Structure 1
């Protein structure tokens, strides 16, 4: 009785070179430096590799030799699913992926929780550089990134980090334009629903000290733009209710809008510092039987596709272009040792969710 046939040993670079009667360098060049071989010779090497079951050079061994991982790390201080369900993050990810495709490099997502300080994922990531997507100034994962001897690009926040490239928009100018638009429509009694201001969970009112001292600079700037616009119109900003929500979801927007409308039923406009929160607020307004914009004007920030679909008044920003620029800054850095700051334009989009106050009783006459 004969036993099972002996399994064939997988081909190696050396055995493939011996089979073809060429040097091991020739086989390696077929994969790593194809410009060094003629097209017929490279095809002969690759065909023999397929026939003999040679999988190609070991990428781990190659990275050890070249000291390059062939991938960009995207640090995202959210659950992994956030990158695929949040439309702003999705647009940014698409732009970054396009830049990586153009450069022929990979993209590694490094998701970490904003509520946990474990930085092992950052230290273990095999990448040639990091793109950091919108984290707080005191984020421990960002500090871990800066300890790695690789180039880093920040998208949005934190801002003004020495030696680090950044791409973002002028958030303050965007909300300043939005606030002035609402002022021109006659609104003085407003409420504000904002994204998280700090890395520790807080769901509730945000006083002026918290607004100005938050560790998320984008939210600080967006609130500052609104404060400037309404202060110009004679509104005491300390009297403007600001509600903060830690989660960036439509459900959080609805919950925050409910809290704000319960405490301040006389507001004529609700400004949200993101479209996702604003979409939730629109749903809450409908649940309460409020007509938008007849009973309540609602505005957001970002310009995500769903906001366009429902006609939300918002400030549109170019997410995909931010991703492209972040990739360009990282992948085309070369020997540049001076950091670059790229500020992309925003656009005020006047939709159907805001309107002018036409009846005399609607105009501001105090809280």
Structure 2
């Protein structure tokens, strides 16, 4: 910002009394006065942005006043770095009337920041029409920006899918795995009849880890990995050994509770890990993290999750490990998969 001799004008603008104090004037004034005004987060973000860009105003000096950084300004004003970033964009790129609208509490700093990238002449016309037009224009701009991001993401995913399908050796952009986890029964006399071994062969952790999944994974790929809650550390170990980095996951809430030592399990976890740089979903297209679906056969997973994966990655080559059955457009490998490879 432009050098100024003193921050008095800032406090005058927001109705704060400067007072007289021998200590750091900014920290003192903020602590003594902010609670007297019911400033919104957007208004506080504008104050913080000004604090973080003020200079002492002495010739030849470019030191921030009282050495206030963006992080410190955010702490003093109780606003996030994201809000301060939006406020700085409004101040740097917006017309003065746009900043004034935020400072007056008429519009949010995020709405103003959405408009700040528009040409100044276009901003001036929008602001001149008043608060309602600013809010409506910000929504239009965000919607257009979201649509562009969706289109760019779809194009990137399609290019990646075509590239992976063209490889001479089959590599997959999506690997969906439900390993044959081996549980330890707390009572072998009564537990084996209900355990997985009674329905399909199981493997110990090291056997699953040694599975050469990395050799079929494309350079930019995603792993969807089912793991029971009681074996969550094992799931993360397998993901890392297969060459993927954990990112997030979903919870499947079942309609019937199972057994367990500490709790009766009513949910299972689907972990998501990445290798390389597969495209994230476009903003607004992500599925919610909790999905409710009824139980099927032993260890069978709801079809909702196949649809989720297909929605996220419609063109990437896909394989399901330990598949119950073949699925159109997917390769399948597993104990029960028909036509398995």
Task: Output the TM-score relative to the length of structure 2.
Answer: 0.25
Which has the higher relative contact order, 1 or 2, with Cα contacts under 8 A spaced 6 or more apart? 1
Task: Output the TM-score relative to the length of structure 1.
Answer: 0.23
The higher radius of gyration belongs to 2
